[in-house]
Chain A
Amino acid sequence: MLEDGVRTSPLVAVPPDIAGPHRKRLGLIAVVATFGGLLFGYDTGVINGALAPMKEDLGLTAFTEGFVVSILIFGAAFGALIGGRLADAYGRRHNILMLAGIFTVGTLGCVVAPDWEVLALFRFVLGLAVGGASATVPVYLAEVSPAERRGSLVTRNEVMIVWGQFAAFVVNALIFNIWGEHDSVWRYMLVVAVLPAFALFFGMLRMPESPRWLISQGREAEALKVLKQIRSPERAVAEMAEVHALAEEEKEAQTGGWADLSVPWIRRLLLIGIGLGVFQQFTGINSIMYYGSQLLEDAGFSAKAAIIANTANGLFSVLGVTVGILIMNKIDRRKMLLGGFVLTTSFHILVGLSATLLPDSTVKPYIILLFVICFVFSMQGTIGPLVWLLLAEIFPLKIRSFAMGMCVFMLWIANAGVAFGFPPVVSALGIAPTFFIFAGLGVAALLFIHTMVPETRGRSLEEFEDEFRAQHA
């Protein structure tokens, strides 16, 4: 989530937004645009549950399984890079419409794929759309919402992503328990994702372009026209100045690039950002989001019970993110990060210990499920949303665009790496050692955060920058 303007007050004084028909319009925009987040979640989560029947139907090995799952995430890494540039060049609305089209094509391609190679190709296409949505939807939401509601609207997209995953788990559980005997049951699961893609496409057709983007293109009259739809009339006129200032700020954010990495303190900040993104993924949260049903089956559940039990992972992911967002600004960032990693690492160890030490029984799978759920909840309640917040606030304005782009790219690559490696590692070593590896990575993350990550809460961006620069000159 790009928390645009988290710690910056409005640049220009504007009258408060008053009730009126424009509120409804803005609310509708938020609902439609967050279908992008929902799709992001649905398409990343649907593989969880579809994978077991797919493996049988297409004869996947541990290697091709990891390949088919992770190629979507590799695609997302590149989709995020390309999507951001396209949204700058052709507009946010245009980009979201295009993404809805790619979501549809990618989904249908996967549904009819005759073998794993074709499936992988269309999973990559879907990944491009997922990455593009991750780079465009939060920006669009931030740019259409008034300053005082910007944070909550952008956050809503983050919540929609985990709702999308949860929805995919529930739909998969339903479909599997009805048509579980069909060879093609995984195809039924995947095809459901075209529904939100259609909703996004036809909804977005009726939504306006971002006023900030229009102004950055010098299209003043159109920008004012859009603002008049989504603000009270007085506020619309007053806000033009603010939108101008924000468009300028965005231009400034794109100043820095590779050459600026020769400055030690900037290089250090970038390394911190990359480390945060990578360690967030090395918790293995997404190995649960992609392979949860499989994992629970390995833990001792029957196939039908595992896919149902897995919906608990989705539910607690939603609850975790909701709690995390509520408490995020009330606790020091470092404390919350360190606390989060202590919790996730402890639960990794508990999952590993229960998988090795407990004798096989009917209770054992439930104990493993309990610790996995605790892991998911503590991860999504702390590290998950917090890393996005930190990435949005640690970089000086002038290098923010480049630095965030690098960090998000590395985060996706780490995500893809874990997704790719998880099935072969589990099949070679088993559940317990895999979770002990995650625990080891968690300890490394704790050391990294303790020694490198600065506190940013309660400080203005300028204060933080001056201090950090003085310390690492």
Chain B
Amino acid sequence: MSVMVAVSDSPEGAVALAAGVAEADQLDTDLIIVNLSLTEVDTSLVPATLNFKIVDRKGRDDRDPADAVLDEIRDHAVDRLVIGIKRRSPVGKAFLGSISQRLLLDSPVPVVAVKLGMRDA
């Protein structure tokens, strides 16, 4: 089994990655990092002792980040999804949709949602 963390190109993404590492540590499982950004994900803070793999978005099928994460959950034995969330303006939501909202509602496994400035995050 493993923990999956969705890491976006934002401060919330970094917080989610840290929380994902903590979660995998606690459950003593592997970590699957789904890189939602369009560049490389920074894993310098992931401890060397943790077994992790990175999955990048690739191709038109992964254009929607939420679909990309849900597909990966289907393809792997995942028992927890970790995401970073933030408040979105109604306008931003209308134009770009909310990835977090879709993951919270559509994920087939329990979701841990972390925010910036949380205790222990």
Write the nearest CB–CB distance from A402 to chain B, whole angstroms. Answer: 8
Q: Is the CB of A259 within 8 A of B64?
A: yes
Residue with the highest number of chain A CB atoms closer than 10 Å, among B38, B60, B96: B38
Across-interface contacts of B62 in A (CB, < 8 A): 255
Q: Once the chains are docked, how many angstroms separate the CA of A256 from the CA of B59? A: 8
Judged by a CB distance under 8 angstroms, whether A469 is at the interface is yes
Across-interface contacts of B119 in A (CB, < 8 A): none
Given contacts A255-B62, A255-B63, A257-B63, contact A399 B38 (CB under 8 A): yes
Judged by a CB distance under 8 angstroms, whether B90 is at the interface is no
Chain B residue nearest to A251 (CB atoms) is: B59
Judged by a CB distance under 8 angstroms, whether B26 is at the interface is no
Across-interface contacts of A402 in B (CB, < 8 A): 63
Q: Is the CB of A259 within 8 A of B65?
A: yes
Q: Is the CB of B60 within 8 A of A396?
A: no
Residues 245-259 of A contacting B (Cβ, < 8 Å): 251-252, 254-259
Judged by a CB distance under 8 angstroms, whether A260 is at the interface is yes
Q: Is the CB of B38 within 8 A of A251?
A: no
Q: Once the chains are docked, how many angstroms separate the CA of A252 from the CA of B37? A: 13
Residues 192-226 of A contacting B (Cβ, < 8 Å): none
Residues 28-79 of A contacting B (Cβ, < 8 Å): none
Judged by a CB distance under 8 angstroms, whether A266 is at the interface is yes
Across-interface contacts of A257 in B (CB, < 8 A): 63-64
Chain A residue nearest to B88 (CB atoms) is: A262
Across-interface contacts of B38 in A (CB, < 8 A): 255-256, 260, 263, 266, 396, 398-399
Given contacts A261-B96, A262-B92, contact A255 B60 (CB under 8 A): yes
Mask: chain A, 255-280; 1 = CB below 8 Å from B; 0 = not:
11111111100100000000000000
Judged by a CB distance under 8 angstroms, whether B80 is at the interface is no
Q: Is the CB of B59 within 8 A of A252?
A: yes
Judged by a CB distance under 8 angstroms, whether B111 is at the interface is no
Given contacts A256-B63, A261-B96, contact A251 B58 (CB under 8 A): yes
Partner of B57, one of A255, A258, A261, A465: A255
How many chain A residues sit at the interface, stated as a range, is 10 to 19
Interface size on B, residues (CB 8 A): 20
Q: Is the CB of B63 within 8 A of A259?
A: yes
Residues 1-26 of B contacting A (Cβ, < 8 Å): 8-10
Chain B residue nearest to A252 (CB atoms) is: B58
Chain B residue nearest to A462 (CB atoms) is: B39
Chain B residue nearest to A466 (CB atoms) is: B39
Judged by a CB distance under 8 angstroms, whether B70 is at the interface is no
Write the nearest CB–CB distance from B87 to chain A, whole angstroms. Answer: 13
Across-interface contacts of A261 in B (CB, < 8 A): 96
Across-interface contacts of A256 in B (CB, < 8 A): 38, 63
Chain A residue nearest to B65 (CB atoms) is: A259
Across-interface contacts of B65 in A (CB, < 8 A): 259-260
Mask: chain B, 95-109; 1 = CB below 8 Å from A; 0 = not:
111010000000000
Q: Once the chains are docked, how many angstroms separate the CA of A120 from the CA of B78? A: 58
Q: Is the CB of B92 within 8 A of A254?
A: no
Q: Once the chains are docked, how many angstroms separate the CA of A251 from the CA of B58? A: 7
Q: Once the chains are docked, how many angstroms separate the CA of A24 from the CA of B59? A: 35
Mask: chain A, 370-403; 1 = CB below 8 Å from B; 0 = not:
0000000000000000000000000010110010
Chain A residue nearest to B60 (CB atoms) is: A254
Chain B residue nearest to A400 (CB atoms) is: B38
Q: Is the CB of A262 within 8 A of B60?
A: no
Write the nearest CB–CB distance from A153 to chain B, whole angstroms. Answer: 27
In the A-B complex, the 6 residue pairs with the smallest Cβ-Cβ separation, listed nearest first, are A398-B38, A257-B63, A254-B60, A263-B9, A251-B59, A256-B38
Chain A positions within 8 Å of B, measured between CB atoms, are: 251-252, 254-263, 266, 396, 398-399, 402, 465, 469
Name 19 extra pairs, CB < 8 A, besides A259-B97, A262-B92, A263-B38. A251-B59, A251-B60, A252-B58, A254-B60, A255-B38, A255-B58, A255-B60, A255-B62, A255-B63, A256-B63, A257-B64, A259-B64, A260-B38, A263-B8, A263-B9, A266-B9, A266-B38, A399-B38, A402-B63
